[in-house]
Structure 1
Amino acid sequence: MTNDYRFEFRPYQRRFLRSLTTNHGKWDIREGIILRLTDETLRVGWGEIAPISWFGSETLEQVLDFCRQLPGEITDETIFSIPDELPACQFGFESAWEWGSWKWGNEFFSMPNAQCPMPNAQSFSALLPFGEAALNQWETLWQKGYRTFKWKIGVDAIADELKIFESLTRILPASTKLRLDANGGLSYEEANLWLRTCDNLKANAELPLEIEFIEQPLPVEQFQQMLELSTSYETAIALDESVATLKQLAACHQQGWREIFVIKPGIVGSPSRLRKFCHQHQIDTVFSSVLETAIGRLAALQIAAELSRNNRAIGFGIDHFFEQEETWFQTLWNDL
């Protein structure tokens, strides 16, 4: 039996409180689409399409083109036949379908008044600002309960970053876990230097800080070199940009990657196919935000709760990059 849904969507823009700087450049405004599906019984499902084209998803223009060409009434077949070239659309429509179908339990379905369920902050990894600002920002986040932090590298000169890193490792409290995220911005020589530095830190009993992993040290096209590095050092490597979509995730696993996979549900593609892959292969995962709103985050956290393994903090400690959402959302929902 095929179900029919009334389909509505609305683009949004959210300005960061401060620019997010990575190897890919500065990011000032988060843009995406909120969508709503209403079935014949008037049950509503909310979804979000939050593409990051420079990370591997479709562009916002492609998302808008796709949504605009859809009729006002769509079916299950429409939702589950979205092409792989539109992974953020697959996530947005399928998660809205799950929401409206009450696949997650009925305590979440009174949006817009419901709050996104937030695990204890210790379950989250908080994103630090790049550069020296991290030396001051970490304490505020620590006081909020975060014990795992991510810090961007590959942005400034490596000598300067290594000096900041040394300072950071000496001021962070014991039991802290630190992730270094290069966004593919290191050379092979620089990656070796970072990994060697982290291994030396592990050998220093006076520094109890744990370097959990280095994330995406090399560009996507240098997969074989990352595979080689993963067997040469004790410090773990996590793939991120290399596994942005489900197709890439399957390809890297097929080529022998057995360390950590950072999965961004908001752009990886179909939630149902992701679940099937993870259950089949039992991969070591870290689930991470695409700086989505509470709607997309709810769906992503549901996936993370189902599929996370090895007790790794999930990368959703990003609330400090935006203003509170309630007023902004209320305006959007009233307009829809």
Structure 2
Amino acid sequence: MVNYKFKFRPYQRKFARSLTTSHGNWDIRKGIILRLSDETGKVGWGEIAPISWFGSETLEQALDFCHQLPTELTEEIIFSIPDELPACQFGFESALGEAGEQHFDFAQWAGSREQGKKITNAPCPMPNSGLLSAGEVALAQWQVLWEQGYRTFKWKIGVDAIAQELKVFKSLVHRLPSSAKLRLDANGGLSYEEANLWLETCDRLWANIEFIEQPLPVEKFPQMLELNRCYATAIALDESVATLKQLTTCYAKGWRGIFVIKPGIVGSPSRLRQFCQQHKIDAVFSSVFETAIGRQAALQLATALSQKNRAVGFGVNHFFAQEETWLQDLCKDL
């Protein structure tokens, strides 16, 4: 049995401007960096990046869990992390995989930046979706991301009055090139009537709407099943499938549409692999605003499990006020 020395350190990373969704404003991304090392000197890095309002544990619960662990861990301990701590499951299993297989290459990472069309430091380059801010900011923001190579965009809706958002939406789709794809993300913030209006508008206005993401709250699953059958514009589940338990439940209840999977909070990577490979679901893999450490682990899963070659949703670095050079300094102290 291999014992791994365990160290961790919390971090804080400020957004350049508040990230606004139907859940409210988000100003600071907080998380935990993990380090596992074995007796041969192999080191594995992992990241715990919870989003409690999305369905994961809180940062405080994750920190409490880390504090109560011994300074040496076994695989048995790591694979027995309870399902109530899905971000911890992802972080520890990712670190364990790195310690046994592939070391996070700081030299490679430090000399590269995430690009729009291709993601650097990924096991296999994949098309990437760029996140647009809610409101009229998106009307200029997409052009900057287009010049960086992005061809798929995701825009937050369900934030302002629907009449205002539809007005901005019509301007946006008229400005986007015909080769672009657009995803609309409501974060569960629409009413049933508003969701119908959005879907009707999308069906009528532009063929390049890839999907509307989580139009209704989690408890409105039957209505989303119905809407997904009634319109040409697809619906993708997001908050409804935030954790592996929710993912398997929605599948069992008949969802065969698109699943947006956030590896950083979904739970056990090994169990996610098993589920996706067994059921061959149509999955889009998306960021939780993690650092390069969590992003690399998430992209490894996306590369292995993507069935439809959909753009991954990791084009979010432009939302942060600082580069990730601080991350290397933090890890040197572990």
Normalised to the residue count of structure 2, the TM-score between the two structures is 0.94
Counterpart for residue 85 of structure 2: 86
Q: Give the secondary structure class of the aligned counterpart of 1:113.
A: helix
Please give the alpha-carbon distance, in whole angstroms, between the structure 2 residues aligned to 1:76 and 1:218: 39
2:186–2:213 Cα contact (<8 Å) kept: yes
2:49–2:264 Cα contact (<8 Å) kept: yes
Offset at 1:111?
A: 3.5
Out of 99, 116, 121, the residue aligned to residue 117 of structure 2 is 121
Structure 1 portions without partners, runs of 5+ = 203-208
1:182–1:216 Cα contact (<8 Å) kept: yes
* Percent identity (aligned): 71
Q: Give the secondary structure class of the aligned counterpart of 1:114.
A: helix
Out of 199, 204, 222, the residue aligned to residue 203 of structure 2 is 199
Structure 2 portions without partners, runs of 5+ = 119-126
Q: 1:236 to 1:196 in 2, by over 3 A?
A: same
Please give the alpha-carbon distance, in whole angstroms, between the structure 1 residues aligned to 2:162 and 2:328: 44
Counterpart for residue 153 of structure 1: 157
Out of 215, 218, 229, the residue aligned to residue 217 of structure 1 is 215
Please give the alpha-carbon distance, in whole angstroms, between the structure 2 residues aligned to 1:239 and 1:89: 23
Please give the alpha-carbon distance, in whole angstroms, between the structure 2 residues aligned to 1:334 and 1:110: 13
Counterpart for residue 179 of structure 2: 175
Counterpart for residue 249 of structure 2: 251
1:16–1:29 Cα contact (<8 Å) kept: yes
Cα displacement string for residues 260-300 of structure 1 (whole angstroms, at most 9, x for unaligned residues): 00000000000000000000000000000000000000000
Counterpart for residue 122 of structure 2: none
Offset at 1:325?
A: 3.7
Q: 1:325 to 1:38 in 2, by over 3 A?
A: farther
Please give the alpha-carbon distance, in whole angstroms, between the structure 2 residues aligned to 1:219 and 1:83: 26
Counterpart for residue 77 of structure 1: 76
Q: Give the secondary structure class of the aligned counterpart of 1:161.
A: helix
Q: 1:117 to 1:249 in 2, by over 3 A?
A: farther
Q: 1:329 to 1:256 in 2, by over 3 A?
A: same
Out of 226, 232, 240, the residue aligned to residue 228 of structure 1 is 226
Residues 1:133 and 2:137 are matched in the alignment = yes
1:112–1:333 Cα contact (<8 Å) kept: no
Residues 1:317 and 2:315 are matched in the alignment = yes
Q: Give the secondary structure class of the aligned counterpart of 1:231.
A: helix
Question: Deviating runs (4+, > 3 A) in structure 1?
Answer: 116-120, 323-326
Offset at 1:326?
A: 4.2
Please give the alpha-carbon distance, in whole angstroms, between the structure 1 residues aligned to 2:159 and 2:107: 39
Alignment of 1:19-168 (within 5 A): 19-102=18-101, 106=102, 109=103, 111-115=105-109, 121=117, 123-168=127-172
Equivalent position amino acid for 1:321 in 2:
F
Please give the alpha-carbon distance, in whole angstroms, between the structure 1 residues aligned to 2:145 and 2:96: 35
Offset at 1:321?
A: 1.1
Please give the alpha-carbon distance, in whole angstroms, between the structure 1 residues aligned to 2:55 and 2:115: 28
2:42–2:99 Cα contact (<8 Å) kept: yes
Equivalent position amino acid for 2:34 in 1:
L
Superposed CA RMSD: 1.4
Equivalent position amino acid for 2:10 in 1:
P
Please give the alpha-carbon distance, in whole angstroms, between the structure 1 residues aligned to 2:183 and 2:116: 19
2:114–2:317 Cα contact (<8 Å) kept: no
Alignment of 1:278-293 (within 5 A): 278-293=276-291
Offset at 1:319?
A: 1.2
Q: Give the secondary structure class of the aligned counterpart of 2:184.
A: strand
Please give the alpha-carbon distance, in whole angstroms, between the structure 1 residues aligned to 2:327 and 2:113: 16
Normalised to the residue count of structure 1, the TM-score between the two structures is 0.94
Please give the alpha-carbon distance, in whole angstroms, between the structure 2 residues aligned to 1:80 and 1:252: 24
Please give the alpha-carbon distance, in whole angstroms, between the structure 2 residues aligned to 1:99 and 1:267: 18
1:188–1:218 Cα contact (<8 Å) kept: yes
Cα displacement string for residues 116-142 of structure 1 (whole angstroms, at most 9, x for unaligned residues): 895761600000011000001000000
Q: Which stretch of structure 1 is more off in the superposition, 114-123 or 192-201?
A: 114-123
Q: 1:120 to 1:20 in 2, by over 3 A?
A: closer
